[in-house]
Structure 1
Amino acid sequence: MEREHVLVTGGAGFVGGWIVKQLIEQHPEFKVTILDVEKRDSWRSSQAGIDFIQADVTNEAQVKSALETAKPSIVIHAAGLVPAGNDRYSPTQEVRDRVYNVNVNGTHHILNASKSVGVKCFIFTSSITIVSDDVDHIYPNVDETAATGNASLVYGYMKGIAEKIVLDTNSTDFLTCAIRPSVILGPGDYQLLPTIHRCIAKGETPFVIGSADNLYDFVYVSNVADAHFLAVENLLTTKTAAGEAFFISNGQPIPFRHFCLAVWADFGHVPKFQIWIPTSVAWFAGFCAEWATWLTGTEATLSRGSVKDYTQTAYTNLNKSREILGYQPRVGLSEGIRLSCEVRDSKPCKNIITAEIE
């Protein structure tokens, strides 16, 4: 395989950083450039052969200049904005505009600049949320034939728009595809595990909403990085991934409650008792909590949106990613939780995860 030049947008972030880290380990023959609004950190600056360009994907002129300077042959577009907390479920117009500007306009800018400098392969980091953010419905064993565009939450809706733009741009001389990770965990995660961990201090771990048997998908971050490399390799060789989207998960859907218990156990916490709350009661409590947070300006764990998220069934079928990309998760879910938690606490992970569906 000839020497390629890969530019990773968002390469200073959580997912992008892992893509860069594993890219230089698995493909040392590639030249790598990071494009990010944030400056590189110490580990990246110490790596020989990695260039860094500071640019904001929402600024078309900066993006155009950056791509003209780098002239990559491959682009992995991992930059994006994920709203957290209340902004995920009840975003203000300002938040909606910011999410659109980063995830949709930013993708437009990267795509246009990539085509203008002769990029031949473009891999977009999409998300399971383009389907599962339609939280009024369940999605068991969902595959890539599922309709998109129905997401009711802002992140999944905007990601869906961006993914369609990318896939519609696919052509014989500009190959594109999309990687749709499930909920991602790993060292550097600033949303999922920290939110679950905070429930310990808040005394919220005994509360069980609904039946707690709804299956949910997760994926360890290095497995996500692997999927991106497999997409690159495919587009450079057989090209069977061109114009396609691929769900990526650990292939181990489990009840969301079990996942939380595993995380808490890794920090040495096991609830001493459980209080079961009917979903309808929790939904009403979430409505009240939303009003309380609006009045006080504070952030609460509970909301109507979080109740729907917690009780939703959403896990994916990996047949397409296995058959076309050759994807297999190398890091299992229990190991992924242990690796994710040990950066905050050295206690061993207690293996509560037992469910697995292939």
Structure 2
Amino acid sequence: MSHLHVLLTGGTGFVGTAILKALDEYHPEYRVSVLDFISESRWARPNTAFDIQYYQADITNRHQVSEAIHACKPTIVIHTAGMVTKNNSRYRDPNPEIVFRINVEGTRNVLDAAKSSGATSFVYTSSVTIVTDDQDHDYPNVNETVPTGFALCTYGQSKLAAEKVVLAANSPEFATCALRPSTLMGPGDTNLVPTIQRCIAEFETPFIIGSGLNLYDFTYVGNVADAHVLAAENLTRPHADDRTAAGEAIFITNGQPVPFRSFCLAVWAEWGHAPPFEIHVPKRVAWTAGYLAEWWTWIRGTEATLCRGSVKDYCQTAYADISKSRRILGYEPRVGLPEGIKISCADLKRRMEENKLS
């Protein structure tokens, strides 16, 4: 559909930027607009074929969102905007009501405005954490039939609540779907790879928590962007019966689960670092060490790379079956895990160097 008009919320962010690049690659004929909360002057506008129309709005402000989306009048909304809890706040969020206001009520505001403005489709960026934030259990090769509602962390709880709102709105006239990416890396990553890289300076790399063999999913952000484009294509097909993604939640990963420890070793190797020795630390001992590390880093005024919650993450088996994404969307990860790690680390090195020079 050459006349397709895509509105991308959160288009200045990590996932949003990758989606803009994917849209530019696959569909330069589309009309693309961006809605975000930062002022346009602060946005490092990417070099694309699009003449991007920018709308500034706070998604928690229903009036601002409605005004912007009715002015835009998109065909489809890709909704990535939201709040991602990071570091220690991921495990013990001091302000869960803020996360829910942004991720749930903000999503509801965007969804309602999209419907009333005449949009016909809506792709929501959900998260695998709606399942895996139940950190007391393992989730090997999990698929979309697994029961949800057991997440222990605020982020996973909020993403599930928002996903339910989106999927409940699906109809023949307004097709919706939810994509559930796993833990992301890539250009612009401020969470995963930077946290693992900091372990070098904290002298934490020799310690293997638990078995070190637990399989985990990591996903390159460009692959997730591809999936969003495929979902948009699916939901905007002319005939409702062909919109096979409508009403569906779909896991998106690299399809290459690896031991958590192996991923960390690969990241450290990009900095020329290999642990000088290895010490296996039982999970219970590590949990106590995480508790002490939280106190020690609190006293120092720094952020703990090791904490009780991260110990659970490091030891959890959590990876998804992406058969459904392949079947419904035709999704296939283009960037493999080794290449994704190299790209992610090179980007982080560049940003670290820029910060030194600034």
Please, what TM-score do these two structures have when normalized by structure 2? Answer: 0.93
Deviation digits for residues 52-82 of structure 1 (CA, Å, limit 9, x no counterpart): 1111111111100100110001000000111
What corresponds to 1:97 in structure 2?
97
Which residue does 1:234 correspond to in 2?
Answer: 234
Partner of 1:290: 294
Q: Compare 336-345 and 122-131 and name the one that shifted more.
A: 336-345
2:234 equivalent to 1:261: no
Q: Deviations over 1:169-214 (max 9, x none)?
A: 1011010000100111001001111111111111111111010000
Question: Using a 3 Å threshold, how does the CA distance of structure 1 residues 295 and 342 change in structure 2: closer, same or farther?
Answer: closer
3-state SS in 2 of match to 1:29: coil
Deviations 1:300-355 (A, max 9, x none): 11211110011000000011111111110011000001111112448xxxxxxxxx
267-276 or 312-321: bigger deviation: 267-276
Task: Specify the code of the residue in structure 2 equivalent to 1:134.
Answer: D
> d(CA) in 2 for partners of 1:300 and 1:157?
23
| 1:311 maps to which of 291, 295, 315 | 315
Residue 243 (structure 1) aligned with residue 247 (structure 2): yes
- Does residue 1:123 correspond to 2:123, yes or no? yes
Q: Distance in 2 between matches of 1:52 and 1:159?
A: 26
2:166 matched to which residue of 1? 166
What is the CA distance between 1:291 and its match in structure 2?
A: 3.9
Out of 327, 333, 338, the position equivalent to 1:329 is: 333
User: Is 254-263 or 298-307 further displaced after alignment?
Assistant: 298-307
Quote the Cα distance in structure 1 between the aligned partners of 2:157 and 2:348: 33
Between 1:278-287 and 1:105-114, the stretch displaced more is 278-287
2:24 — aligned with what? 24
Alignment of 1:32-51 (within 5 A): 32-40=32-40, 41-44=43-46, 48-51=50-53
Counterpart amino acid of residue 273 in structure 1: F
* Residue of structure 2 equivalent to 1:350: none
Residues 90-239 of structure 1: pairs in structure 2 closer than 5 A? 90-92=92-94, 95-237=95-237, 238-239=242-243
Structure 1: 5+ residue stretches without partners: 347-358
Partner SS for 1:115: helix
After the TM superposition, which residues 334-349 of structure 1 pair with which residues of structure 2 at under 5 Å, given as runs?
A: 334-345=338-349
For 2:37 and 2:348, locate their aligned partners in 1 and report how far apart those are by CA, in whole Å.
27
Give deviations 1:119-168, integer Å, cap 9, x for gaps: 10100000000000000000000000011111000100100000011001
User: For 1:62 and 1:341, how far apart are their aligned partners in 2?
Assistant: 38
How far is the alpha carbon of 1:282 from its aligned partner? 0.5
* 326 and 100 in structure 1: CA distance in 2 versus 1, 3 angstrom threshold: same
Instruction: Name the CA distance, whole Å, in 1 between partners of 2:308 and 2:50.
Output: 48
| Counterpart residue identity of residue 105, structure 1 | E
Once residues 348 and 326 of structure 2 are traced to their aligned partners in structure 1, the CA distance between those partners, rounded to angstroms, is 33
> What is the percentage of aligned positions where both structures have the same residue?
58
Tell me, in whole angstroms, the C-alpha distance in 2 between the residues paired with 1:296 and 1:334: 35
TM-score (norm 1): 0.93
Offset at residue 295 of structure 1 (A): 5.4
Deviation at 1:45, TM superposition (A): 7.3
Q: Mind listing any 5+ residue stretches in structure 2 that lack a counterpart?
A: 351-358
**Equivalent in the alignment of 1:84:** 86
Give the distance between the partners of 2:48 and 2:332, measured in 1 at CA.
30
- AA at the equivalent of 1:113: A
In 1: Cα distance, 2:349 partner to 2:59 partner? 35
Letter in 2 for 1:80: G
- Against the structure 1 CA distance between its residues 258 and 45, is the aligned structure 2 distance closer, same or farther, given a 3 Å change threshold? closer
Q: C-alpha displacement at 1:47, in angstroms?
A: 5.3
2:187–2:348 Cα contact (<8 Å) kept:
no
Aligned 8 A contact 2:21 2:48 in 1: no
Matched residue count: 344
Amino acid in structure 2 at the alignment position of 1:79:
A
Relative distance call for 1:219 and 1:172 in structure 2 (3 A) is same
Q: Aligned partners of 1:293 and 1:281: how far apart in 2?
A: 18
Following superposition, the deviation at residue 48 of structure 1 comes to: 4.1
* SS of equivalent to 1:42: coil
Kept in 1, the 8 Å contact 2:32–2:50? The answer is: no
